[in-house]
Amino acid sequence: MNSKQKITLKGIPASPGGLVRGKVKIINSLSGIRKLRKGDILVSSFLTPDFLPFMRNISLISGIITDKGCSTCHAAILARELRIPYIAATFYATKTLKNNAEIIMDSDSGIIYET
C-alpha cells in the first residue's frame, strides 16, 4: 500500500483474502441485496442469520465489511468458506463509509483505505 494512503477504518480480518478494491454498497435489509453488483463491497451493520442463506448467491461481491462481528461468528465462517474477504468489528463502517465510494480493504490486516 502507498504509505500516504489515508486509513479510514480498522477492524478484525475475519476472512483474509488480500487487497480488494471496490465500490461501497451499504445494505441493512435483505431487500437491499438486489442493489449489489459484481465487484461491490457489501457494508452492513452485521450479517445476521437471515442474510446467510443469500451469501452463497452474492459470491460475486468482492468483499464484506461489518460494524459488528468477529472471526469465530457464523458469518465469518461462511465468508471464509466462500472465500469472500471480510473485515468485521469496524464499529462505524455503516456511518463512516459513503455509498458508491471506492475503497481499498486490506483483508489480511483489517485496514480500510480511501482511494
Partner 1 sequence: MKLDGFKKIESIKKLQKYKLPIAQTIFIFDFKKQEKEIDDFLKNKRIVTIRSDKIGSTDFCPLSIGCPRNKAKTLIKKISSKGYAVILQQYVPVRSKASGNILILKKHILVELMGTGALSLMSREGEIEEQIKFRKKDLTEVSHFGKRLIRKRELINILKMVKKMPVYNLIEFTLRNNGLYFWQIKEDKTAGQLEGSQNR
In terms of C-beta distances under 8 Å and separation of at least 24 residues, what long-range contacts does 23-27 make, across chains too? 23/100, 23/101, 23/102, 24/97, 24/98, 24/99, 24/100, 24/101, 24/102, 24/103, 25/99, 25/100, 26/94, 26/97, 26/99
Least distance CB 39 / partner 1 (angstroms): 21
Name the catalytic one among 35, 37, 56, 74.
Answer: 74
Residue (81 or 114) nearer to partner 1, CB: 81
In this chain, which of 89, 103, 104, 105 binds partner 1, going by CB under 8 A? 89
Site track for partner 1 across 27-56, x = CB under 8 A: -------------------xxxx-------
Q: Which residues share a beta bridge with 42?
A: 25, 64
Asked if 5 touches partner 1 (CB under 8 A), the answer is: no
Asked if 63 touches partner 1 (CB under 8 A), the answer is: no
List the strands of the sheet with 102-106, edge to edge: 7-10, 111-114, 102-106, 19-26, 41-44, 63-66, 86-88, 12-15
Q: Which residues bind partner 1 (CB under 8 A)?
A: 10, 12-13, 15-16, 46-49, 66, 68-75, 77, 80-81, 88-89, 108-110
Active site residues: 74
